[in-house]
Amino acid sequence: MAKEQQPHWSDILKRRLANPKKDERSDEEKKAEETELFTKYYTEWKGGKDKDKSYKNIPRFYYRLPAEDEILLQKLREESRAVFLQRKSRELLDNEELQHESPHCIGEEAMISYEAYLQVGERAGPKCKKFFTARVYAKLLHNDPYGRISIMQFFNYVMRKVWLHQTRIGLSLYDVAGQGYLRESDLENYILELIPTLPQLDGLEKSFYSFYVCTAVRKFFFFLDPLRTGKIKIQDILACSFLDDLLELRDEELSKESQESNWFSAPSALRVYGQYLNLDKDHNGMLSKEELSRYGTATLTSVFLDRVFQEYLTYDGEMDYKTYLDFVLALENRKEPAALQYIFKLLDMENQGYLNVFSLNYFFRAIQEQMKLHGQEPVSFQDVKDEIFDMVKPKDPYKITLQDLVNSCQGDTVTSILIDLNGFWTYENREVLVANDNDNSNTADLDDT
């Protein structure tokens, strides 16, 4: 028996939106009403007889924030914001309601037509109504021949939306200024109070909490506050993946590999802090240039390290843990625009906004000197310079801007060539390394056979 053809969802929507009531007034009556309304609104707009007082019709759109000494007004504002956020939180589906609505599909993926979708929406509770709209349905509609959507995809969409709203409300509670952004101290308080809710951090000693919070907060500010204003928009926090990584630590069965690649995990935070302690040979809690020179493979050039201590915050010529975290984030994420911006500022010695042949030569000379110290024949700068310009392909053939580096997708390679002997050696021997990798994989295949 042939399957009954379901009406198309767009036809159903058109029928529902069609206005069944007909206007039975005559054209003269309609025209008279139109003229009356036009005269009324035009007179109000012009101000009528009270033209000089027309400013009173402008709705108030600016509300002054309470000053620091207006304690009562500040408390009133904080209390009213807290009540507002609590009300918004009650409007969301809670975890129990979400679990109750969760689809239990086995085997073939369950689908739903637009007509059935609307029927479910009519029976759903008031908290669910906003999810049963034509806009949501169209967003989830893909290539189903019957114009249906996946029930599981719809449920996941609802889950994601609810999670975003819950998180936004949670972050907004720490927004002391009430302006839609978090300062460093606000985000520190949020993460500190979040630690007990993350099972993967159960093993952290309380004495390490302050270092963990500092480590976590630096990643948000390094990437989301490139102008170093000291505050981040809540909207930007929600849009990036960092919060997902942080809240991933709720998973009690998170794999070892996932933990090692997650900046916010306990092993990662302990690794970074442990490296800092190992570099701090005189145990004064700070790093000198000589101590920092042992970072990684100990092959960063002294010229580059000089620039780090010239440009970024130090105390009596030594670096604290917070400045060290920015340094680590930049060197471990050289493909990212924020990391390239950090390194570019160091390479652009005269703050010109671009790198020229002189800049490149200045930094590469230090690589050549290191090669001599290791008994290697120095590579010609002219060859390296040509390769760098060929890789980047800048708009101006004589100048490389930060944007040129980002657009080229070769910024990590270029910066490695200029600041790190190990990075330059890896680039120079890339063909040999690839060949060795292929040989090793072939050998492994033979062993398997």
Report pTM. 0.76
Give me Rg for the CA atoms of the chain. 31
pLDDT at 444: 47
The pLDDT score that the predictor gives to residue 52 is 54
Mean of pLDDT values over 165-191: 90
Structure tokens at 395: 């708009």
- When pLDDT is averaged across residues 150-178 and rounded to a whole number, the result is 87
Residue 390 is which amino acid? D
For 253-285, what is each residue's pLDDT tens digit? 888 899 999 999 999 999 999 999 999 999 999
Cα(353)–Cα(347) distance, integer angstroms = 10
Mean pLDDT score, 7-11: 72
Tens-digit pLDDT profile for residues 340-393: 999 999 999 999 999 999 999 999 999 999 999 988 888 999 999 999 999 999
Q: How far is 330 from 310, CA to CA, in rounded Å?
A: 16
Q: CB-based contacts of 186: which residues, under 8 Å, 6+ apart?
A: 174, 175, 176
- Predicted confidence (pLDDT) at residue 106 exceeds the cutoff of 50: no
For 222-247, b/e burial (b = at least 16 CB within 10 A) is bbbbeeeeebbebeebbeeebbebbe
Query: How many angstroms from the chain centroid is the CA of residue 399?
Result: 30
At 449 the pLDDT is: 43
Q: Please check whether residue 301 is in contact with residue 346, taking contact to mean a CB–CB distance below 8 angstroms.
A: no
Higher pLDDT, 59 or 436: 59
What Å distances lie between residue 93 and 134, 153, 163, 419, CA to CA?
20, 17, 9, 52
Confidence of residue 446 (pLDDT cuts 50, 70, 90): very low
pLDDT (tens digit, 9 = 90+) per residue, 301-349?
Answer: 999 999 999 999 889 899 999 999 999 999 999 999 999 999 999 999 9
Sign for the CA dihedral angle at 241, 245, 250, 256 comes to positive
Domains of the chain: 71-102+109-174 (no CATH), 180-279 (1.10.238.220), 283-434 (1.10.238.10)
Residues 6+ apart with CB under 8 A from 78: 176, 178
pLDDT reading at 8 higher than 50: yes
User: Please, what sign has the CA dihedral across residues 331, 334, 337, 340?
Assistant: positive
